[in-house]
Structure 1
Amino acid sequence: MAPSALVVGDIYFEDAKWQALSPAVTLKEYRKGTRAEFISLLKSGIFDDVEAIFRSNESTTVTGPFSEEIISILPPTVKWLCHSGAGYDNIDVEACTQRGIQVSNTPNCNEGAVADLTIYLMIGALRRITAPNNALRAGKWRGHIVPGHDPKDKILGILGMGGIGKEVAKRAKAFGMKIIYNNRHPLPASIATSLSAHFVSFEELISTSDVISLHLALTPSTERILGAAEFEKMKTGVTIVNTARGDLIDEEAMIRALEKGKVWSLGLDVFDNEPRVDERFLGSERVVVCPHIGAATVETMAAMERLVIENIKSALFNGKLLTQVHEQISQS
């Protein structure tokens, strides 16, 4: 009997590869609907033979997060949860581990796309591009111009020097920026030298950077890593860029720092209560915003979907994931 796999939410670019799993795999779908409907179907037994699940960050709009509430009622046959996205904070990994469900993500697929958007937001924030853009759209040509800043010779502090952080450093180096970073561990000397990046303490980074860019995973230890105390220690006129997760920053503290002039400008792709965004961000011409689109390119999304399908194939036919999340690897 063929193993069964379930896709939750849409597959945008590689649906043909998903369909090609059949007939070796029995394919089931829950692409549209609500969290309540999904929970009802789980309880009904319709998915009781499912062994692997394909989900994505985008599928959260369909089912909400894969919290303990959902994990606890997944069929006992489910052994593999294959996630499309580098970040997976909308999955309760601990609950999965307790139920013997192995989780994979798609690391290394989105690094270039997110780094590109980071640079876009950084340059836009340094130039305060929102004000003249709004003026032009309102038929006022330039409006009241506030001259921006060049990136050249500015100190860029990168919090989190994983794959995305390194890609940001490569791009920032081309702009003539001075790059410092803080990470759990310093990079190997050869990599740090190639990036012209210097390891510093967290305290030194927040107090000396002209631009601070966040590239950390959201964990209990990184949640609200930038709060009121940290903003007080920053240079007056600092620019903050966040393409990682909104919960890394205390939004109220950041807004107060912006209103006081401690922060020159912001470049934000992520927010605390997505999809709701604080009106003070939307109403400020010192803020450049995007609606969490860091990985939203055809090439990146297709690559992530292909890796999810490869994880499902490997899990069902070889009994192991290709890119299991690090929390579970470290416990094994």
Structure 2
Amino acid sequence: MSDIVISEFMDEAAVEALGRDFTVLFDPTLVEARERLLDQGEGVRGLIVRNRTQVDEALLSRFPDLEVVGRLGVGLDNIDLETCAARGIEVKPAFGGNGSSVAEYVIGGALMLRRGAYFSSAAMLAGVWPRQALIGREVSGSVLGLVGFGAIARETARRARALDMQVMAFDPHLPAEDAAWADVERRDSLESLLEEADVISLHVPLTEATHHLIDATRLQRVKSSAVLINAARGGTVDEAALADALREGRLAGAMLDVFEQEPLPAGSILVGVPNLILTPHIAGVTEESNARISQMTADNVRAVLGQKSGRAET
């Protein structure tokens, strides 16, 4: 019987540190083996997950002794928060652990997509020399539009300003008088941002309000020279509408790290779409961020279990 079960990958140094205080089952293959994961539940006090383990009512019913869910990251759409709250289970995200990683991913995507010169390897190896066709654009002087202006978006804005980008943001949940707006142009509507931005980057959670936030109607408002980056949550972009916009040249490029279905299904609507870069939900995961997030999560879980058992924190 284990005190803590870890169902997805985690920095091994943090796992070893937890193992000095608790009995730990660390098995990243559990995320792919739902029944085997559910069978571990009896007696488990702490569960550590990333975004793929579904901490839903069915799982929680099989973990009757659970006291804390540690989230290796910040998104919580895979965790049934209402049921956790009703059962007194604390949910502990690793806030701030991967901000730099995601911000660098967005800036890297902006540079690649604006320049447009990084899709030519196959043609060049076939003997083509498409120099004129690959004359792209600089990010300097372009407008970065941030949809959502939380901590990661602010990290992104800071880096963008260092590249002489103009930055605007839309966030209806952040009051106009908040000091965070000091160096960023605040937009009152998403539509006005979409119409002016050269690079659009999403920084919102997946909720009923943000599902397909970027849909066919809103993509009609975007410049044909603009590019879109989504390293936030799958489902916030209507993938079919995005595919149509890219195929029809109504959008210059896109970079997606998150998807409505992960992994992508066979025959995905995104197969063969031009000027599209896909990555497997990796924007927030680097060697450095994995170590930070893992240690933060280990500390969060240790603190909860230590308090509830009366043990001193180490």
- Bin of the TM-score, shorter chain as denominator length: 0.7 to 0.9
Structure 1 unaligned regions, length at least 5:
321-332
In the other structure, the counterpart of 1:299 is 288
Q: For 2:201, what is the secondary structure of its paired residue?
A: strand
In the other structure, the counterpart of 2:137 is 149
| Matches of 1:197 and 1:106, distance apart in 2 | 29
In the other structure, the counterpart of 1:229 is 217
CA deviations 1:190-234 (Å, max 9, x no partner) are 4322x3443432221122222211011112221111111111222
RMSD: 2.5
| Matches of 2:281 and 2:13, distance apart in 1 | 26
How much has 1:114 moved relative to structure 2?
A: 0.5
Letter paired with 2:3: S
**What is the identity percentage for the equivalent residue pairs of Structure 1 and Structure 2?**
27
Q: For 1:263, what is the secondary structure of its paired residue?
A: coil
How much has 1:136 moved relative to structure 2?
A: 3.7
TM-score (norm 2): 0.87
Match of 2:102 among 89, 114, 135: 114
Moved more, 184-193 or 101-110: 184-193
CA deviations 1:63-86 (Å, max 9, x no partner) are x42222212222x21111111112
CA pair 186-136 structure 1, distance change in 2 beyond 3 A: farther
In the other structure, the counterpart of 1:6 is 5
Where do 1:231-270 residues align within 5 Å? 231-270=219-258
CA deviations 1:235-280 (Å, max 9, x no partner) are 3332111111121011111111222222111122222212116655
CA deviations 1:14-39 (Å, max 9, x no partner) are x3443333454233344434112223
CA pair 129-283 structure 1, distance change in 2 beyond 3 A: farther
In the other structure, the counterpart of 1:167 is 155
Letter paired with 2:281: H
CA pair 99-307 structure 1, distance change in 2 beyond 3 A: same
Equivalenced residue count is: 305
In the other structure, the counterpart of 2:279 is 290
In the other structure, the counterpart of 2:196 is 208
- The answer on 1:192 being equivalent to 2:181 is yes
Letter paired with 1:27: V
Structure 2 unaligned regions, length at least 5:
310-314
Moved more, 301-310 or 203-212: 203-212
CA deviations 1:81-137 (Å, max 9, x no partner) are 111112122222222223322211111010110010111111111122342233345
In the other structure, the counterpart of 1:50 is 44
| Matches of 1:71 and 1:149, distance apart in 2 | 50
Q: For 1:246, what is the secondary structure of its paired residue?
A: coil
Letter paired with 1:211: V
TM-score (norm 1): 0.83
| Matches of 2:186 and 2:28, distance apart in 1 | 46
The 8 Å contact of residues 68 and 95 in structure 1, kept in 2 or not, is answered as yes
Q: For 2:119, what is the secondary structure of its paired residue?
A: helix
| Matches of 1:192 and 1:159, distance apart in 2 | 14
Letter paired with 2:42: D
Letter paired with 2:45: E
In the other structure, the counterpart of 2:74 is 86
The 8 Å contact of residues 10 and 31 in structure 1, kept in 2 or not, is answered as yes
Q: For 1:247, what is the secondary structure of its paired residue?
A: coil
In the other structure, the counterpart of 1:26 is 23
In the other structure, the counterpart of 2:37 is 38
